[in-house]
Copies of this chain bind each other. A is one copy, B any other.
């Protein structure tokens, strides 16, 4: 188990009611609401040497929108907690960035707070409505097809470029790292069409990590062809383990093959009844997030 899983176990053992912890989204069934909170911290998640306030706001919001979309929902409201060495121009730039994305997705800013502090911290809570069928990490079953949307490895490669000092905002990888591309039309279509439980999660912590989580929670395995994974970088480490691409990992019953085709989903493999992730015949140990390609 990695550190975060250890911590989540402790939390689950400590609190009295632990029905929803550990998912990207909470689902309140009686209200049909999906809720998620994600925090971005300066020098942990981004550096102001290459992120403007406008860009920080947009990324912080898109990360949260991605959780609702992948959960099978439609984002609707956000609260925004912003800390840092705030001044008028920072606030103006930050909220301009936020507003642009809010308008695009029909999201309303309903509250939040402002605090002084050394580092910039953005914590956004997002609330969305569930569409016809919300997704679940535990819904994969042997025989399902495994699909992805989006190119993997691009964001991590963009981050490498930024860390090396590249500052070209027109560079495709840097752009992807700064402003993730989301697949809202695909997730909305899947959530409104599929009639039975299905897996859909974003690949924010990397494609392999998403596969691992689905395997653990669905008690299944995956048989994957590396060649089928959409990518623009020639680096297995970045493609499988690089984070922040915000693509989608979707597992669907074979009867939805036509739907998947109509949405241009990329089939990368099948769900198996083992407890192994096999990529091009190489067996990965699900319990450890060890990088076998390294």
Contacts and interface: CB of A to CB of B under 8 A. Distances in A.
A21 interface: yes
A28 interface: yes
Contact of A20 (B11, B17, B36, B110): B110
Given A10-B92, A31-B31, A109-B21, A37 B125 contact: yes
For A14, A28, A99, A113, which residue has the most chain B Cβ atoms within 10 angstroms? Answer: A14
A219 interface: no
B44 A115 contact: yes
B7 A108 contact: no
A77 B77 CA distance: 16
B44 A116 contact: yes
A15 B109 contact: yes
B95 A26 contact: no
B121 A41 contact: yes
Contacts of A20: 110-111
A1 interface: no
A115 B38 CA distance: 10
A39 B113 contact: yes
Interface residues on A, range: 35 or more
A91 B41 contact: no
A244 B190 CA distance: 47
B125 A15 contact: no
B110 A7 contact: no
Secondary structure at chain A's binding surface: helix, strand, loop or mixed? mixed
A44 B117 contact: yes
A166 B31 CA distance: 47
Interface string A30-48: 0101011111010011000
A37 B113 contact: yes
Interface string A74-111: 00010111010010100110011011001100001111
B26 A79 contact: yes
A39 B102 contact: no
Contacts of A31: 31, 33
Given A91-B11, A109-B15, A79 B125 contact: yes
Given A6-B88, A7-B86, A37-B123, A16 B110 contact: no
Nearest to A42: B117
Contacts of A21: 109-112
Contacts of A69: none
A4 interface: yes
Given A11-B95, A21-B110, 9 more contacts: A10-B92, A11-B91, A26-B79, A35-B79, A39-B81, A39-B83, A44-B117, A79-B125, A117-B119
